C-alpha cells in the first residue's frame, strides 16, 4: 500500500470559507489501513498532521500548514436493521440525516443541511434544533496516532456543547454507529428544518458556519452581535452576515487575517456593549490565535 502524497495543494480548496494557504503534503484517506499508514508516516518524519472532513467550522491560515493534511474519505453507510446505522467518518452527515428520514427513522433530522462529515460532527458534537450528535450516537471506532484501534461506547465518552472527548485525543475517528427510532413525519420535519435554515442562514455565501458559541441557554451569540448593530460590518473581504450575525462571510478575497481581525472586533464590541465575552466555536489552524 502506498499513499498518493501531493504537493501544491492549498487549504482554501477544502475550506467552506475559501481561505487557506499551501499544504506541505496532502493525501486522501479512503480506508482505516490508509489512516494507519499516514500516522506511521507522520511519526517517522516528525510531521504534524491535520484531519479534514468537509472543511467547515475551521479558519485556515493563509501561511498554510507545514505538515500533512489527511482528507478523510472513509465513506460508507451500512443500514443494519432495527434503526441501527454504521457510517464512515468521511461520510456526509447531512446525507446521513436525509437517508435516515427517508427510511422513516428519527434522530438525525437536524443533520440535514449541516456541512460536516460524520467524524467532524462527532468531534464537535454538532447540534441544531434542540438535538446534538451524541443523542443518537451508540459507539465510535477510533484509531490513535500510534496505530491502535479502539471502539468506544457513548457511555465511555464525554460530550458537551460543541465539545467531545476526541478534542483532547491524538488520532482519528474511523466510523460510528447510530441508534435511531421509528418516527412519524420524519421527512416533513426534515424539510421544515432545511427550509428554515435556508431562510435564516447565508447558505449561498462562503462561511464556516456559526463562528461563536452561544454564551448561555437563553443567550444567542447572533442576537448579541445584532444588538450591537454589527450586521454588515466588515474588515477587508470579511463581513458579518446581514442574514445571520453569527456567520462571518468571505465576500470576496478575504484573508485569514481579515477574518481574525473581524472576530476580534466583534468580540470587543459585544464585550464593551453587553459585558459578554464571545468564545469561538470554529477551530483555527495556524500560528495565530483569537
Task: State whether 182 and 81 are in the same domain.
Answer: yes
56 is a domain residue: no
Element (H, E) at 272: helix 256-274
pLDDT at 186 over 50: yes
> CA 39 to CA 176: how far, in whole Å?
20
Beta-sheet strands, E only, within 73-194: 77-81, 84-88, 105-106, 127-128, 131-132, 137-144, 149-153, 159-160, 163-164, 171-179, 181-182
Task: State whether 160 and 226 are in the same domain.
Answer: no
238 is a domain residue: yes
26 is a domain residue: no
Please, are residues 159 and 168 in contact by the beta-carbon 8 Å criterion? no
Task: State whether 135 and 230 are in the same domain.
Answer: no
pLDDT in tens, 237-263: 999 999 999 999 999 999 999 999 999
pLDDT at 83 over 80: yes
Beta bridge partners of 25: 68
29 is a domain residue: no
Beta bridge partners of 28: 71
What is the per-residue pLDDT for 239?
A: 98
Task: State whether 159 and 213 are in the same domain.
Answer: no
Q: What is the mean pLDDT of residues 146-170?
A: 96
pLDDT at 289 over 80: no
60 is a domain residue: no
Q: What share of the chain is helix, strand, coil (3-state, %, to 5)?
A: 30, 30, 35
- Window from 26-30, 38-42, 147-151, 283-287 with minimum mean pLDDT: 283-287
The residue count for the chain: 290
127 is a domain residue: yes
pLDDT band at 1 (very low <50, low <70, confident <90, very high): low
What is the per-residue pLDDT for 173?
A: 98
Task: State whether 81 and 177 are in the same domain.
Answer: yes
pLDDT band at 130 (very low <50, low <70, confident <90, very high): confident
Task: State whether 228 and 281 are in the same domain.
Answer: yes
Instruction: Give the three-state DSSP class for 243.
Output: coil
Longest dimension (CA), the chain: 57
> CA 285 to CA 256: how far, in whole Å?
10
pLDDT in tens, 187-211: 898 889 888 888 889 988 999 999 9
What is the per-residue pLDDT for 287?
A: 57
**Sign of CA pseudo-dihedral 26, 28, 32, 34:** negative
70 is a domain residue: no
Query: In CATH, what number is assigned to the domain containing residue 143?
Result: 3.30.465.10
Residues with catalytic function: 162, 210, 281
% residues pLDDT > 90 (the chain): 86
Q: What is the mean pLDDT of residues 77-100?
A: 96
Number of domains in the chain: 2
The range of the structural domain enclosing residue 259 comes to 200-285
Domain boundary (158, 186, 214) is at 186
**In the structure grid, which three cell numbers stand for residue 200, read together?**
435564516
pLDDT at 288 over 60: no
**Sign of CA pseudo-dihedral 235, 54, 181, 160:** negative
> CA 87 to CA 22: how far, in whole Å?
31
Query: In CATH, what number is assigned to the domain containing residue 247?
Result: 3.90.78.10
24 is a domain residue: no
Mean pLDDT, rounded, of the chain? 94
Q: What is the mean pLDDT of residues 134-158?
A: 97
pLDDT at 290 over 50: no
Rg of the chain, C-alpha, whole Å:
19
> CA 122 to CA 135: how far, in whole Å?
11
Amino acid at each position: 500500500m502506498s499513499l498518493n502524497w501531493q504537493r501544491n495543494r492549498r487549504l482554501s480548496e477544502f475550506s467552506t470559507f475559501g481561505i487557506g494557504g499551501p499544504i506541505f503534503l496532502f493525501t486522501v484517506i479512503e480506508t482505516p489501513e490508509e489512516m494507519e499508514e499516514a500516522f506511521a508516516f507522520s511519526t517517522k518524519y516528525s510531521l504534524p498532521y491535520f484531519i479534514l472532513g468537509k472543511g467547515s467550522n475551521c479558519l485556515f491560515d493563509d501561511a498554510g500548514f507545514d505538515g500533512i493534511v489527511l482528507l478523510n474519505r472513509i465513506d460508507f453507510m451500512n443500514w443494519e436493521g432495527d434503526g441501527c446505522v454504521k457510517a464512515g467518518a468521511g461520510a456526509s452527515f447531512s446525507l446521513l440525516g436525509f437517508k435516515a428520514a427517508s427510511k422513516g427513522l428519527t434522530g438525525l433530522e437536524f443533520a440535514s443541511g449541516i456541512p460536516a462529515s460524520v467524524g467532524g460532527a462527532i468531534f464537535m458534537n454538532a447540534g441544531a434544533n434542540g438535538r446534538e450528535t451524541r443523542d443518537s450516537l451508540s459507539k465510535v471506532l477510533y484509531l490513535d496516532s500510534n496505530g491502535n484501534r479502539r471502539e468506544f461506547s457513548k457511555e465511555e465518552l464525554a460530550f458537551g456543547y460543541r465539545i467531545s472527548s476526541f478534542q483532547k485525543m491524538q488520532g482519528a475517528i474511523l466510523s460510528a454507529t447510530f441508534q435511531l427510532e421509528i418516527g412519524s413525519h420524519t421527512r416533513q420535519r426534515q424539510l421544515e428544518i432545511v427550509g428554515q435554515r435556508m431562510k435564516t442562514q447565508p447558505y449561498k455565501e462562503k462561511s464556516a458556519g456559526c463562528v461563536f458559541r452561544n454564551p448561555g441557554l437563553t443567550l444567542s451569540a447572533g442576537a448579541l452581535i445584532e444588538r450591537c448593530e454589527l450586521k454588515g460590518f466588515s474588515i477587508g473581504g470579511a463581513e458579518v452576515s446581514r442574514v445571520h450575525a453569527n456567520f462571518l462571510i468571505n465576500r470576496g478575497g478575504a484573508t485569514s487575517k481579515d477574518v481574525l481581525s473581524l472576530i476580534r472586533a466583534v468580540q470587543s464590541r459585544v464585550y464593551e456593549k453587553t459585558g459578554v465575552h464571545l468564545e469561538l466555536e470554529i477551530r483555527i489552524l495556524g500560528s495565530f490565535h483569537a
